Every structure is written in structure tokens, then in C-alpha cells.
């Protein structure tokens, strides 16, 4: 697939400003990509479902365009949003519940959240992606259950990618305290996982160590 971006920095600025003509130009350029992704055989979407999901994608793009900071990454950005909304539709069909789902996100060093890029067409297994998303949601819930101190430490190290020294500066503690706190929080999280048979099975290798 051609990776040449279909928008310019000027058009991106107009999109962020909510210029309706800019959005008309944007969708005129990207609707073929949306249609191609919606037509992937692995989705098994009938025409009416494709139309509904396409509309959801358009709405999501207008809401999340602020997360696109570089027009050269526009193609990947649009494709990621498309695939995530397709996965949401499969998840909705499986659950039988018509509701929005929380996307699998990643937080950068500035604290901003972005949808995690996922596998390309030939590698993507939508059911595995759904399972991963649900697993991530369960793990986030368990980290919150471990308490605010653990949530802060785990998020800083494993999500934001901060070093022990950076975390120590943020929390006004020593580097040794950061290490000790993370160790205790992971042990606490391990205990919470151990009470859940489904999660314990998924992390069986970790429990054998």
C-alpha cells in the first residue's frame, strides 16, 4: 500500500480548527482507504454494517484528529482508527450489546493517550485483538484495585517508560524506594491475578517462576 501521506500540514491545521471544507477534502481523499479496510474478508461485514462502521470511523476521526501531530503519519493514523472501530463492531456483535468500547491505548511521556498501533491486514486476527483488549481492561482494573500508589508507580515505569531516577524525582522519593515500591506492587498484583482463574491461566508461566 502506498504510504505517501494524503494530506499536507496546512490541511492538518485546518482539520484541527474544525474547517468543514477541510474535512470534506479529507474524507474525499481517505474514503477509499476506509472502504478498502471495511471490505477485508476477515470482518465478514455486510454492506449495511460497513456503512454504519464507516460513519463511526468518520466521527472518531473528527474527535481524535488532535492526536495526529505529523501529517506524514496520517495514513497510519487513519488505518489504526479504522481497524479499532472494526474490532469494536466485532466485539459488539459478540456481546450483543450496542455500546461504545474503550480502545486499547498507550500513554506517552507527556501524559497524552494514543491508540496503540496494531498489526497490518495480513497479520491481524480480530478475535485475538479483542481478547487482548479485554485482557488489558482487566489488568488495568486490577492495577487500580492494587491502590493509587501502585497505579502511579506501575503506570510511570511500564506505561510511560520513565527510569527509576525520573520516577524518584516525580514522587520525591529515593531511587531505592522506587525499586522497592515496584517490587511490592507487582507482588500485590500477582496476588490479585492469582485469585482469578482465567488470568492465572494466561500468566501461568509467571506463576511457575
- DSSP labels for 108-136? -TTS-EEEPP---TTT--HHHHHHHHHHH
Query: Is the predicted pLDDT of residue 97 greater than 50, yes or no?
Result: no
- Report all structural domains of the chain as residue ranges with CATH numbers, in order of start: 1-129 (1.10.1740.10), 146-209 (1.10.10.10)
pLDDT of residue 172: 92
> Which of the residue ranges 18-22, 45-49, 94-98, 154-158 would you say has the lowest mean pLDDT?
94-98
Which position has the higher pLDDT, 44 or 98? 44
Three-state DSSP class for residue 105: strand
Average pLDDT of 56-60? 92
Q: What is the pLDDT of residue 201?
A: 66
What band does 115 get if pLDDT is binned at 50, 70 and 90?
low
Amino acid 38: pLDDT = 93
- pLDDT range class, residue 24, cuts 50, 70, 90: very high
C-beta separation of 13 from 66 below 8 A: no
How much is the pLDDT for 119? 47
**CA separation for the pair 143, 186 (Å, rounded):** 9
Mean pLDDT of the chain: 80
Amino acid at each position: 500500500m502506498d504510504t505517501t501521506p494524503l494530506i499536507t500540514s496546512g490541511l492538518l491545521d485546518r482539520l484541527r480548527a474544525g474547517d468543514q471544507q477541510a474535512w470534506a477534502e479529507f474524507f474525499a481523499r481517505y474514503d477509499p482507504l476506509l472502504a478498502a479496510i471495511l471490505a477485508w474478508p476477515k470482518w465478514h461485514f455486510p454492506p449495511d454494517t460497513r456503512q454504519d462502521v464507516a460513519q463511526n470511523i468518520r466521527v472518531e476521526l473528527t474527535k481524535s484528529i488532535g492526536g495526529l501531530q505529523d501529517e506524514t503519519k496520517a495514513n497510519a493514523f487513519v488505518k489504526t482508527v479504522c481497524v479499532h472501530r472494526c474490532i469494536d463492531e466485532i466485539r459488539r456483535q459478540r456481546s450483543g450489546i450496542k455500546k461504545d468500547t474503550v480502545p486499547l491505548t498507550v500513554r506517552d511521556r507527556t501524559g497524552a493517550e494514543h491508540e496503540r498501533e496494531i498489526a497490518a491486514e495480513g497479520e491481524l486476527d480480530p478475535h485475538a485483538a479483542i481478547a487482548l483488549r479485554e485482557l488489558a481492561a482487566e489488568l488495568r482494573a486490577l492495577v487500580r484495585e492494587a491502590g493509587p500508589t501502585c497505579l502511579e508507580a506501575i503506570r510511570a515505569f511500564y506505561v510511560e517508560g520513565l527510569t527509576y531516577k525520573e520516577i524518584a524525582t516525580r514522587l520525591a522519593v529515593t531511587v531505592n524506594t522506587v525499586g522497592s515500591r515496584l517490587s511490592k506492587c507487582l507482588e500485590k498484583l500477582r496476588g490479585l491475578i492469582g485469585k482469578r482463574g482465567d488470568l492465572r491461566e494466561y500468566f501461568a508461566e509467571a506463576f511457575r517462576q
